[in-house]
Amino acid sequence: MSKELSKMRSTPRFAGEEEKRLNLKAYGDSLHESLNEEILSVNLINDELTLVIKPEKVRKVLLFLRDHTYSKYEVLTDIAGVDYPERKERFEVVYLLLSIRYNARIIVKLSVDELTPVESVTSIYNSAAWFEREVYDLFGIYFTKHPDLRRILTDYGFTGHPLRKDFPLTGYTEVRYDDTEKRVLYEPVETAQEFRNFSLVSPWASEVTGSAPHRGQGKASSSSPHRGVDFVKREKGA
């Protein structure tokens, strides 16, 4: 494997795009061969390698990518979560790595369900501490062996995980300041509103297309420089 990795890393800086792509594919194949039991698949997307790995092997894979002579992905730039509710393993955890020595990036993905935890990588990358807290807060993915796993973006006492696809857009509580009690109140969301039919037809459509104005809207005055305002006044008068 070292021979293949060395060849890939020795690619001239101004080599052609096709040559870079071929060497990157060879590098991915070598990684797959070396970590055959840990990597499920290797994909080349937009000239970047993506490794799909087994969840329980995340530490071994990231240690290899960080420490191997021809990898040196020593910077963890981000950890992201993705929710696919229709899948059995609905969550993807995505690690974005950067090698400063080789000016290269790589993406590592794993999939878990709601009940399966992921082992923390804070002992490998210090930056993972806050990233894992964000994923836990927004998606509810639990990381074992994390030194301080708690919410980081949402408020104290927040219910649910707001980036899950089944989380309601309105949330569960709303916040307002009460002048009588002189304090901030947290209350259940109330969305009571009478049913309305909204017309999306523009009152200016007839001026452009020559078609008749929408029924019940009237015609804007052509003498007024502010036709929108004139239209609103006429509607209110009606």
| Domain annotation for the chain: domains and CATH numbers | 2-153 (3.30.460.80), 155-192 (no CATH), 205-237 (no CATH)
pLDDT the model gives residue 152:
96
Indicate whether 122 pLDDT > 50. yes
- Distance separating alpha carbons of residues 125 and 103, to the nearest angstrom: 18
| Region 112-137 average pLDDT | 97
- Distance separating alpha carbons of residues 92 and 83, to the nearest angstrom: 7
Where do the DSSP E strands lie in 25-171? 39-45, 48-53, 75-83, 91-99, 104-112, 118-119, 143-144
Which of 43, 101, 92, 96 has its CA nearest to residue 69? 101
pLDDT the model gives residue 1:
53
Indicate whether 208 pLDDT > 90. no
- 184 membership: H or E segment, kind and range: strand 183-188
Q: 236: pLDDT confidence band, cut at 50, 70 and 90?
A: very low
Which of 9, 125, 111, 128 has its CA nearest to residue 54? 111
- Distance separating alpha carbons of residues 59 and 103, to the nearest angstrom: 23
27-47 residue pLDDT tens: 999 999 999 999 999 999 888
Q: How many CB atoms lie within 10 A of CB 136?
A: 21
pLDDT the model gives residue 93:
98
| Region 22-27 average pLDDT | 90
DSSP 8-state assignment for residue 223: S
pTM: 0.74
| Region 158-183 average pLDDT | 90
Cα-based angle 72, 74, 79 (whole degrees, multiple of 5): 125
pLDDT the model gives residue 220:
46
